[in-house]
Amino acid sequence: MGRIYLDHAATTPVDPRVLEAMWPYYTKYWGNPSSIYLEGQEARRALDEARKQCADLLEASPKEIVFTSGGTESDNAAIRGAAFAQRALGRGNHIVTSAIEHHAVLHTVEQLEREGFRATYLPVDEEGVVDLEALANAVGPETVVVSIMAANNEVGTIEPIAEAVRIAKQRNPRVVFHTDAVQAAGAIDITPSKLGVDLLSIAAHKLYGPKGVGLLYIKNRTPWQPMLLGGGQERERRAGTENVPGIVGLAAAMKLAWEEMPERNAHARRLRDRLFYGLPERIPDTVITGPKDPERRLPNNFSCCFRNVEGESVLLALDMADIAASSGSACSTGSVEPSHVLTAMGIDRDLAHASLRLTVGKGNTDEDIDRVLEVLPGIVQRLRALAGR
Ligand SMILES: Cc1ncc(COP(=O)(O)O)c(C=O)c1O
């Protein structure tokens, strides 16, 4: 048996069909889309087509799509772009976000605090659902941006975004609402007009597309200003020669993800549910983190903590057994701090240190899950025995 990859929330392999769509733009049509000669025009055509395709999938207009270098850039650009544009219009300097956002959002908001903005970090309940009452209390006349993720990357909680938008806009119609849909895209319906959001971030590498490319949806007439200045690319909203093969790959990956969503989700759910119900049965003192109802989490996400073990040791032992897993967030791996998501959910620091996230993908099989169910109980038991617990 080869390696078993169960960390699809960290990144996914590129779908061969996506790679095939990208290939000509490395080998044949590699011109600069801003050039007027044939090579450039071929690249321009591909870029326009990709933009139209992404816009169609999001039920948006091509003018509302800005291609970026991925989730982090989209989140930074969304929040900074709206915060500064709103402040310039004299609308205030208050930002609202949640305590369980990805660091691409949290660190951006923290930086804005250093630049004179005020921020409120909304609490979540024990399943990671953002407190909407706290949102209603937080949004006021000075609030310029609200940023709440569509689904959490560590525990898979799906957030009530449409409801949050309604509440925020009721309190202040001028609020710009951003959602980080990096984990949700391809798994749930994130159509911006249905959610009511003004800004939405997507990264290609979470849905079997290439790394280093993503998009930011910017609803028409949203107060927003660019971060990257230079050439006039992306209608002067994101300077820099476009990553044409990457963008073609993003569009192809999104199209496949949207088309295949029902099958992919059914497959993911079936495998994930085997972990969700099978692991607590086989391993005493397994504490499931995130929603207890699997239907309220992303279909591919299982996360838990094991009492009296060090999460890092579990990951290393799994790796030795040829299973790639994560403690929750790729960036917190190796850090001594427990996950901010788990502590925000009220999980004590000791338990939060023993977290495990298994995220399945379309390439996983029942045999992969059999193997995890077979080896993981022994790993946890051995580590507990070693620690004398
Ligand atoms: C919810 C969320 N937002 C943002 C990001 C950052 O995306 P990228 O790695 O494409 O910059 C990630 C990646 O893990 C994520 O899970």
For ligand 1, whether the C-beta of 207 sits within 6 Å is no
One-letter identity of residue 193: S
C-beta of 149 in contact with ligand 1 (< 6 A): yes
Q: Is residue 334 very low, low, confident or very high in pLDDT (cuts 50, 70, 90)?
A: low
Distance 182 CA to ligand 1 centre (A): 6
Whole-angstrom distance, CA of residue 87 vs CA of residue 99: 23
266 and 223 both lie in a single domain? no
User: Could you tell me if the CB of 101 is within 6 A of ligand 1?
Assistant: no
- Over range 354-381, report the average pLDDT: 97
What are 309-332's pLDDT values in tens digits?
988 999 999 999 999 999 875 444
pLDDT tens string 292-306? 999 999 999 999 999
The atom number, within ligand 1, closest to the CA of 153 reads 16
Nearest CA to ligand 1 atom 4: 71
Check whether residue 166 and residue 248 sit in a common domain. yes
Region 216-229: mean pLDDT is 98
Whether 136 and 266 share a structural domain:
no
Pocket-testing residue among 98, 206, 216, ligand 1, by greatest number of atoms within 8 A of Cβ? 206
- For ligand 1, say whether the CB of 72 is within 6 Å of any of its atoms: yes
Report whether residue 71 contacts ligand 1, using a CB cutoff of 6 Å: yes
- Name the closest-CA residue to atom 9, ligand 1: 71
State the pLDDT at residue 332.
Answer: 46
pLDDT of residue 165: 98
CATH number of the domain to which 118 belongs: 3.40.640.10
Task: Give me the mean pLDDT over the 23-42 stretch.
Answer: 95
Say yes or no: 237 and 314 in one domain.
no
Same domain, 246 and 331: no
- Per-residue model confidence (pLDDT) at position 162: 98
Ligand 1: which residue has its CA nearest to atom 16? Answer: 153
Does residue 182 have its Cβ closer than 6 Å to ligand 1?
yes
Note the pTM of the prediction, 2 decimals. Answer: 0.97
pLDDT value of residue 331? 46
Distance between Cα 229 and ligand 1 center (Å): 23
Among the atoms of ligand 1, which is closest to the Cα of residue 212? 10
Residue 1 banded pLDDT, cuts 50, 70, 90:
confident
pLDDT per position as a tens digit, 74-107:
999 999 999 999 999 999 999 999 999 999 999 9
Nearest to 14 by CA among 262, 252, 279, 221: 252
203: CA distance to ligand 1 center in Å?
7
Q: 151 C-alpha to center of ligand 1: Å?
A: 11
**Ligand 1 in contact with 155 (CB < 6 A)?**
no
User: From atom 14 of ligand 1, which residue's Cα is the shortest distance away?
Assistant: 10
Domain boundary among 202, 227, 259: 259
**pLDDT, the chain, mean:** 96
Residues 251 and 184 in one domain: yes
Distance (Å) from CA 309 to ligand 1 centroid: 28
Ligand 1 pocket member 179 (CB < 6 A): no
State the pLDDT at residue 117: 98
Domain final residue pick, 217, 232, 259: 259
CATH label of the domain that carries residue 299:
3.90.1150.10
Domain count within the chain? 2
Domain that holds residue 311: 4-12+261-386
pLDDT confidence band for 337 (50 / 70 / 90): confident
Q: Which ligand 1 atom is nearest residue 10's CA?
A: 14
Q: Flag whether pLDDT at 333 surpasses 90.
A: no
pLDDT at 335: 57
Closest atom, ligand 1, to C-alpha of 151? 1
Ligand 1 centroid distance, CA of 152 (Å): 10
SS (H, E, C) the chain: CCCEECECCCCCCCCHHHHHHHCHHHHCCCCCCCCCCHHHHHHHHHHHHHHHHHHHHCCCCHHHEEEECCHHHHHHHHHHHHHHHHHHCCCCCEEEEECCCCHHHHHHHHHHHHCCCEEEEECECCCCCECHHHHHHHCCCCEEEEECCCECCCCCEECCHHHHHHHHHHHCCCCEEEEECCCCECCECCCHHHHCCCEEEEEHHHCCCCCCCEEEEECCCCCCCCCCCCCCHHHHCCCCCCCHHHHHHHHHHHHHHHHCHHHHHHHHHHHHHHHHHHHHHHCCCEEECCCCCHHHECCCEEEEEECCCCHHHHHHHHHHCCEECECCCCCCCCCCCCCHHHHHCCCCHHHHCCEEEEECCCCCCHHHHHHHHHHHHHHHHHHHHHCCC
The answer to whether residues 274 and 350 belong to one domain is yes
Domain end point (choices 203, 227, 259): 259
**Is 15 near ligand 1, meaning CB less than 6 Å away?**
no
Q: List residues with catalytic annotation.
A: 331
